[in-house]
Amino acid sequence: MARATFGAGCFWGVEELFRQTKGVTSTAVGYMGGTTENPTYEEVCTDRTGHAEVVDLEYDPSQITYEELLRVFWENHNPTTPNQQGLDIGTQYRSVIFYHSQEQREAAEKSKQELEASGKWKDPVVTQIVPAAPFYRAEEYHQRYLQKRGQSSCHF
């Protein structure tokens, strides 16, 4: 098993997307990339902890590659809006890839360059690619939030 961590807006929808991706064996939502230890959801929402809402996932590299996970990430959010996805605004909703190895870093940077060169977006891709930091699991009511409610997405 291998680990990957992505931030692409509200973690409820991002988790559900990856949870349903073949080869992903487990998901957890939480916070990464900030300065406060063990932050709560309420603290992260103040926009003062520096954390992003993320999905931390475990995947089976024999069933899905990291590059395929990156494709799912890029295709399911707008990587050109700094600190915003749809109606969700704040640094916690930034587009970010937290890499766990040099190989992941290189793959993420290559995929970002390819996306920028493709011309798919008229605005620059602002996604951060940064080393993984401590992961703080979100409160239990956030875990599999949409699945618990019988929803497959939270898009408007």
Q: Which residues form the catalytic set?
A: 10
Count helices and strands (H / E) in the chain: 5, 8
Sheet (strand 24-32) strand order:
128-131, 95-99, 2-8, 52-59, 24-32, 136-137
What's CA 3's distance to the chain center, in Å?
12
> Facing residues of 29 across strands?
55
